A and B are shown apart, each in its own frame.
Chain A
Amino acid sequence: MDASALKTSAKGVVVENVNLSYGATHVLKDINLEIHPGEFFAFLGPSGCGKTTLLRLIAGFNIAQTGRVLVGGEDIGALPPWKRDVGMVFQSYALWPHMSVAQNVAFGLEERKVARAEIERRVATALEVVGLSHLAQRRPSQLSGGQQQRVALARTIVVEPKVLLLDEPLSNLDARMRVEVRRELRDLQQRLGITTIFVTHDQEEANTICDRIAVMKDGVIQQVGTPMELYEHPANLFVAGFLGTANILEGKIKREGEAASFELTDGTRVTLQNAATAAEGARLVFRPQYAAIGLRGFATGGVVALPGTIVHREFLGATVRYAVKLGAQEALVDAPFRSGGELLEIGADVDVAIAPERLQFLAG
């Protein structure tokens, strides 16, 4: 059956000036967000950053001290959870053990006083969409983790909610299932066209399935953008470090008239145009795969060369990762591995060469 049988008109979500505290703990600070209709959006951040609190706020399980939440242009702040019509899939799935799979899925429709025949039709459709029609009469405890997750999803989408909220839906699955299910989730979301918010601490999950991501830390949204934007142009050190691996080098900005340069702690100077506009206390950031490595003096003009010594080497398959000591600091460089190619030895004096446009100055 076609998933479009459950298709709803997509609604946007707007969060305005939201602040939320538990006692003295300020959990969400001045949150402003606009999630477009039909978008697959992620709240990404380490545990304790407030991402789940924000999701539960949209579902109505948390109450903010200030601010508004709008779904489809309508302020839902005053509505209790059972009147919000935003479907949530819980991290633990929260399948009721005293009901069969079909009864679990039918629950929301029964609460909405849908006619019996209509309930049966829609439950059948929802179970078919997630591929579990044959397990309708089972108890949740008789299902595997992946199947339970799909029941939880069916139970939520069957009521055709305005927005779909997913709270770390993949965290209770094993690694192989996770890759499979995240693809299914993305496909299903595309077929339903439903606005979806996905909470995760795993940047790979967010990158692979979401249209846009809000990176959060300590209750503050650090940056909002597509996965590529966040990776290529992180707004600060936290975003740079949280998405992928980044070298972050300390140093001081030296201004000499018009020109400015960045002096690393070992004394190496990097002269750059954008150093002049960098904030005080900013650090030099680049990704390991954007640097080249070779014996001292290999680099030719137009690149920034940082002299150092190899202290560690890891073979990762497609690449070889070198750890290079730059004075008291260390940087990682990924060099592509070619069959028959020679590896640099530990202890070798090398240059780390980076194109100027790949270097960024970021503050914390």
Chain B
Amino acid sequence: MTLAATTTALKPPLSFGRAALALLCFALLLIFLIVPVATVIYVAFKDPQSGALTLVNFADFFRNDLFMRSLTNSIWVSAMSVVLATLFAMPLAYITMRFEFRGAILIQTLGVLPLIMPPFAGAVAMQLLFGRNGSVNLLLGDWFDINIPFMEGLNGVIFLQAIHYFPFILLNVSASLANIDRSMEEAAQNLGSSGFRLFRRIVFPLAMPGYIAGASLVFIKVFDDLATPLLLNVKEMLAPQAYLRITSVGIADPMGYVICVVLIAVSLGSMYAATFATRGRDYATTQRGGGGLARRPMKGRDTIVAWAVILFILALVLAPQIGLALLSFATVWSFSPLPDGYTFAHYVRVFGDSWGYISNTLLYSTLAGVIAVIVGSLIAYLVQRSDVRGRMWLDYIAMSALAVPGVVIGIGYLRTFYNVPLPNGQALATFWFTIVIALAIRRLPYALRASTASLQQISPQLEEAAENLGANKRRVARRILLPLMSGGMLAGFITAFATASVELSATMMLVQSSADAPLAYGLYVFMQSPAGRGPGAALGVIAVLIVGACTFVSHLLASREGAGAAAH
């Protein structure tokens, strides 16, 4: 008996359980990520008649004037959104991170607010504020007799996207600036540099890696976005073209798939370019004994200029929220700077008739968040703590979902699961749970990174100590790892929940009936008709409140975690 026990202990620990988990994760990724995306790519290269592999679809794409216009429009809109977002983000980041500035925290918080509102939600509100007959142009017409086409055609998309996504640049550049030791700037000042020269020669180059990361994210997100151009009635861009092809011509038409391949290629290309541009430029220069972040005092005139710039930017970027809030309470609002009257009727209607949108959203986002966090932490655990062969591939595959635009996931699911019947005869592609899975797969990379980060912070010695005291791998995972990771997992869930609740790109393709539709889709439907604007805006405000509350809670959790870590 004793001898037998000794012999077993000498064998490597049995990892059958973890191998099975790895297989399960891989199967999930295979079915719901690899196969749909591969299908999209395969169809793009397939001759619709003969079924043979061909490049003829791509030739058709590049010969088609409409598609070429859409491609150049998409590139133009994405590039200009980056430029405009930079103009919004840079002054906010620099002023709040580098000067003793009262209200810096408030500005940073307000500056991130646009990110939590779906860009399409503000589209109609922005038409009313900045459109041809919007508040701003009415006032400008009265005062100066001019009309600025803020919202005409592509301008509107650029304007809205820049407002929505500029926080990516703000956050990344702020983080970069926080990592630059103050002696870097002081050394330049000591050698005679100041003002804009100091910014151009020292600060901006050092913040470059953060800027590139933020800018490439903005570019990709704008390039892939479907809902904002559609809501502004801009159809000549790539993502809307893919959607329209599939929904109007049918899922057999190859052009939608070709567009998807182009979308993926541009996403991957931008990611690669960003990685390449920042390689070998880790400029984090905070040093031991260094002064850390320096905030310089600001003097009289500079303070006034800084406040003017900041208030102007904040007014612009918060305009969609403000407009949406006004619209949700407005009786009638057209051809006037402000609504004619105010009412609660839209909210009453939304909570009465359209409660289904809200409850669907809460259900889908909760499930998607739970799935993303469970699968994400499983993969993180397997990669970090097991010896399952090929475990790194789980990480690579899950992360590759980052490069897959939502519209591609949607189209891929439609095509792949349309012919997969459920027991009740319904196609899997039209089953509401498919929307949940699409949302979960899209959130998986973020959940995975969060789990990996919290696992990496847990010293393996804590687990070894438990093993030394007689706990097996499963008991260690349950009693040591899970409690220590719970904070990170909860934060990951809340982020996933919040972003899933306003996602539209993938769900737009998959929603088959309004009974199954989430809030974002309902908002889209409402905004199609002038009569639906009020209730649509009310839905939008609810979405903003849900996401806002989630963001607040995750901040609370993060600061509690931080305080807990500091106490140790």
Residues in chain A within 8 A of chain B (CB atoms): 59-61, 80-88, 90-92, 94, 96-98, 107-108, 111-112, 152, 155-156, 159, 168, 171-172
Contacts and interface: CB of A to CB of B under 8 A. Distances in A.
Which 5 pairs from chain A and chain B are nearest by CB?
A: A108-B191, A94-B183, A111-B192, A94-B187, A92-B287
B141 interface: no
Given A83-B192, A94-B183, A96-B205, 7 more contacts: A61-B189, A82-B190, A88-B190, A92-B290, A98-B205, A98-B281, A107-B193
B480 interface: no
Contact of A111 (B181, B191, B206, B281): B191
A86 B194 contact: no
Interface of B: 181, 183-184, 186-194, 197, 201-202, 205-206, 208, 281, 283, 285, 287-290
DSSP majority for the A interface? loop
Nearest to A103: B201
A94 B194 CA distance: 16
A87 B192 contact: no
A98 B205 CA distance: 7
A275 to B, nearest CB: 45
Contacts of B186: 59, 61, 81, 88, 90, 94
Contacts of B283: 97-98
Contacts of A90: 183, 186-187
Contact of A159 (B192, B194, B285, B290): B192
Nearest to A90: B183
Contacts of B197: 111
A172 B191 contact: no
B227 to A, nearest CB: 39
A85 B181 CA distance: 22
A94 B191 CA distance: 12
B188 A107 contact: yes
Contacts of B189: 60-61, 80-82
Nearest to B187: A94
Nearest to B186: A61
A90 B208 CA distance: 23
A159 B157 CA distance: 51
Contact of B290 (A59, A83, A91): A91
Contacts of A98: 205-206, 208, 281, 283
Contact of B183 (A91, A155, A156, A159): A91
A245 B466 CA distance: 49
Contacts of B281: 97-98
Name which of A60, A92, A108, A155 has the most chain B CB atoms within 10 A of its CB: A92
11 contacts: A60-B189, A82-B194, A84-B190, A88-B186, A92-B285, A96-B184, A96-B205, A96-B206, A97-B283, A108-B191, A155-B191
Given A98-B208, A168-B289, A88 B187 contact: yes
A172 B208 contact: no
Given A61-B186, A91-B289, A80 B194 contact: yes
Given A92-B290, A96-B206, A111 B193 contact: yes
B190 A87 contact: yes
Given A98-B208, A98-B281, A92 B181 contact: yes
Contacts of A85: 192
B546 to A, nearest CB: 42
A156 B187 CA distance: 9
Contact of A86 (B190, B201, B289, B290): B190
A91 B202 CA distance: 19
Nearest to B195: A82
Contacts of B188: 96, 107, 111
Given A94-B184, A98-B205, A98-B208, A59 B190 contact: yes
A314 to B, nearest CB: 32
B180 to A, nearest CB: 10
B384 to A, nearest CB: 29
Contacts of A92: 181, 183, 285, 287-290
